[in-house]
Structure 1
């Protein structure tokens, strides 16, 4: 063997030796360092799992981080069919306890591990546990929606992915893993923030370990897995205050069969409550589909309505800011004898000042004032108060294209527009923001609904700041408008909205949405307390009496309730 061949043998020896050391080191890592991990993976290959959360999603919380969905925990029957030795006998006895036909359980006992979709009583829970059937257990399950949920139309609801196009769109848009049958957002915040809310892992799950034949392994039989590290789901922190929202909804359930209520934080424009009636339950949306004559899913807080005399605030603001009137400017009302537009008071108001005309909601005075201003100024000031802007910070709901202030300049539209009829359409949130502009000394602020997006551990991901505001009228004009609004509740049409002790201010409105004069929508929009206001509210009651008769007392009751919280 020559020298060259010896060098080759030595080189090959070292190559094989290094490879051998690498193999030994790898075996060491598998056996010693990662032994527990691989043991768990091996067990999981022979295991079955059922989520104990009906849908893995981030929470929707109020400004104090309280859940708005009314999330609840209920005991449910969990089935692992492969581990049930005598399916026929077990199914018969289980059906008897649950009060079901055996056929109702047959598909579940022959399928994949699952939760039974039936609620159970404490007695049924006890009876099932006492049976001790393999593969059948009773465990607490977390459900997203409960009976105490709030702001249903705002939060929205979930539904299963039902079409290939929907599956494709969700997967492409949100960069998340979806499966047919997954629960996804269909309306409201659940839909708008689907990409942020959807998680990949349930917060809790039950896992059982089986052998190759599907029999349960020895030991405890199952484990409960707590999974707190799902970084794919996000929580939404809203500006809503659950306490205020609850008060509003309870009063609406008694007094507002159809309508909307919006409460803003005075100054900031943050939405503290927004509620619509009639309402639906997000856990059972199918119960409300096709209901005759009602749209339970409509968010009336963001829907368009004629504002009636509430719009006179825009006319007053324009006239005072432009100097075409003063608070003491004299007018005369002939009542039913007016040529352009009759007054609601048939005998007429007689001689009165502009301020008195506002307090008494005198139609002829505001028609004359609006005609003197001209359509362009009315359109301009309506826009200044945000009545052409349906946007809400953090709530990307699409706007309704029917809202177009420029229709005011069409022939014969200005007269009706001056009293909030004809082509003038607004949302309750826009009306609340208009009142907030007066409270804010003439600064218009866009309303905000979502203030923060954060991880499940509370770490902030994104902050949605509130609007710093834009000056649209002078502080002097805003002060005069405040005096007018105070006159309405103290001596005018809105005396039913006067809040004892605290005081209040606002404007009534009554709109006729159709040709039937007997059907009207009632409004009251205002703020409380009168001095240093804390809350702004817009009340709409559909198919009601006048705003002074119905909406004003609802405003007073709501304000009395929420002012006690401070």
Structure 2
């Protein structure tokens, strides 16, 4: 009997231990895991508030943790309609802001908010002097400043437009959404919506009320700052804001339509990606209303015919396969050549392989292409990444028009050997190809995103650079560098030469085939010559030629960014 009682006592003891464990687990979930959420819910039940930030969202930062969206603060009038003397405030604000009373009456007919008017210092002082209850002038954080950078890569925000979009966002992110929420639409804003979206403002103006909803007597506007929103995360890119600013300024000053990509030599990290025409992400509706869809197009990852830039691939294949060496003799008949015409109408006559590269001679490279055959050219184009559209951390949709196998189709080999016909590449791919040449023949996939960072600063997810692969032999890469230097010193790329540091590169002029006979002008190159630091690829749409339109842009950008070192 005594043994039975002891067993029952032990069973009761373990039962209470289990109950205590469950209670402890529940308390941990309520107070620790979900404590922030429940505290926020309790606060919202006892107050009304105005977010002092345009959108509750993580930042998009450059490699030095500088904002690329240009976030800035601006003074705004914050109003709590339930607290104010409505007639007096509307009359007074109408006088100060020079806004019709009817407009203000509509704005103040509902939930508390900040008014959408920029304020002069005189207006700020005038509102403060009135001392209205339920009205304050406070700094509000706006996501996009006057000059945000890399707009076509960053993307833009917009309101949820349909029930289907709402359902997809809720299921994919696990976060709560409602109609009229502002979310990422394109670019990184859209790709990383789940990580960037926050749940609560980190700064807010708040007024408290009792359980029946009545504003507490004597309640004043309280400003909350430094509130932790663990749901939002920041995005850290490889882009350098200083270099991005230089690139965009040069493109704007020269009124360039096209793209510029700057890559860190060796690593493959993208330091700048800029396209023109571009857009301001805070004025999206204005562009759409005026038919400016082209502005949202990411030129840096789009496909274009490369023209003579592709001769780098043909040269690599010829050197690697022993089809040609630096001193191999070729022929050029100029405009009358029976294979393909040359830009030099008089022709180059007998010309060495090195000079043919430096002078960008079409007939010479067409003959090399025929000697190599289509399959070898396709093989080396793939080795050098010209079929790889992926960018680490930047999942752009694959464009199926890029199909190197078309080089082997009938009648395509000659044109393909000089970068025309079916050959299509993006400026980012061209930069990655050049990086392989100056990295001893090692190809590395380009990278744009470094990490997703938690609000506390630690990394939630890292995007490490992919291991490189040996695309061409180191001795082949060394000869290619000599050819690129010759093109810059004595060939058609003279306009790209950077004083003191030295530079090297290749021009390209691709006929677009339209009725205007326009040209996509290319230049891709690197500097300094010894221990290269940067690769810059320039594409100028509707240009004159690579040497006239793109090479000088390369030089100007390179001269400025080398000063940072």
| TM-score, scaled to structure 1 | 0.90
The answer (yes or no) to whether the contact 2:207–2:215 under 8 Å persists in 1 is: no
The answer (yes or no) to whether the contact 2:391–2:446 under 8 Å persists in 1 is: yes
The answer (yes or no) to whether the contact 2:62–2:237 under 8 Å persists in 1 is: yes
* Shift of residue 293, structure 1, vs aligned partner: 7.1
Q: Who is 2:82 aligned against?
A: 82
Q: Who is 1:47 aligned against?
A: 47
Pairing 1:316-327 to 2, within 5 Å after superposition: 316-327=315-326
Q: Counterparts of 1:292 and 1:237 in 2: how far apart (Å)?
A: 32
Q: Counterparts of 2:426 and 2:318 in 1: how far apart (Å)?
A: 23
CA displacement, residues 366-402 of structure 1 (integer Å, 9 cap, x when unaligned): 0000011111111111111111110000001112111
Q: Who is 1:530 aligned against?
A: 529
CA displacement, residues 185-239 of structure 1 (integer Å, 9 cap, x when unaligned): 00110000000011111110010124657455326x1211124421111111110
Q: Who is 1:274 aligned against?
A: 273
Pairing 1:123-522 to 2, within 5 Å after superposition: 123-210=122-209, 214-215=214-215, 217-218=217-218, 221-292=220-291, 295-516=294-515, 518-522=517-521
Q: Counterparts of 2:539 and 2:213 in 1: how far apart (Å)?
A: 65
* Shift of residue 75, structure 1, vs aligned partner: 0.7
Pairing 1:40-119 to 2, within 5 Å after superposition: 45-85=45-85, 87-119=86-118
Q: Counterparts of 1:536 and 1:39 in 2: how far apart (Å)?
A: 51
Indicate the RMSD between aligned Cα atoms, in angstroms. Answer: 1.7
| Number of equivalent positions | 527
Structure 1: tracts of 5 or more residues without a match: 1-37
* Shift of residue 174, structure 1, vs aligned partner: 0.5
Q: Counterparts of 1:509 and 1:142 in 2: how far apart (Å)?
A: 45
* Shift of residue 556, structure 1, vs aligned partner: 0.4
Q: Secondary structure at the match of 1:301?
A: coil
Q: Secondary structure at the match of 2:548?
A: helix
Q: Counterparts of 2:285 and 2:192 in 1: how far apart (Å)?
A: 22
Q: Counterparts of 1:198 and 1:325 in 2: how far apart (Å)?
A: 56
Q: Secondary structure at the match of 2:402?
A: coil
Q: Counterparts of 1:161 and 1:542 in 2: how far apart (Å)?
A: 35
Q: Secondary structure at the match of 1:83?
A: coil
Q: Secondary structure at the match of 1:48?
A: strand
The answer (yes or no) to whether the contact 2:257–2:277 under 8 Å persists in 1 is: yes
- Judged with a 3 Å threshold, the aligned counterparts in structure 2 of structure 1 residues 140 and 293 are, in CA distance, closer, same or farther, namely closer
* Shift of residue 167, structure 1, vs aligned partner: 0.5
The answer (yes or no) to whether the contact 2:366–2:418 under 8 Å persists in 1 is: yes
Q: Secondary structure at the match of 2:295?
A: coil
* Shift of residue 52, structure 1, vs aligned partner: 0.4
The answer (yes or no) to whether the contact 2:305–2:425 under 8 Å persists in 1 is: yes
Q: Counterparts of 1:362 and 1:261 in 2: how far apart (Å)?
A: 25
- Judged with a 3 Å threshold, the aligned counterparts in structure 2 of structure 1 residues 480 and 94 are, in CA distance, closer, same or farther, namely same
CA displacement, residues 24-73 of structure 1 (integer Å, 9 cap, x when unaligned): xxxxxxxxxxxxxx999988544211110111111111111111110000
Larger Rg computed on CA atoms: 1
Structure 2: tracts of 5 or more residues without a match: 1-37
The answer (yes or no) to whether the contact 2:235–2:449 under 8 Å persists in 1 is: yes
The answer (yes or no) to whether the contact 2:330–2:351 under 8 Å persists in 1 is: yes
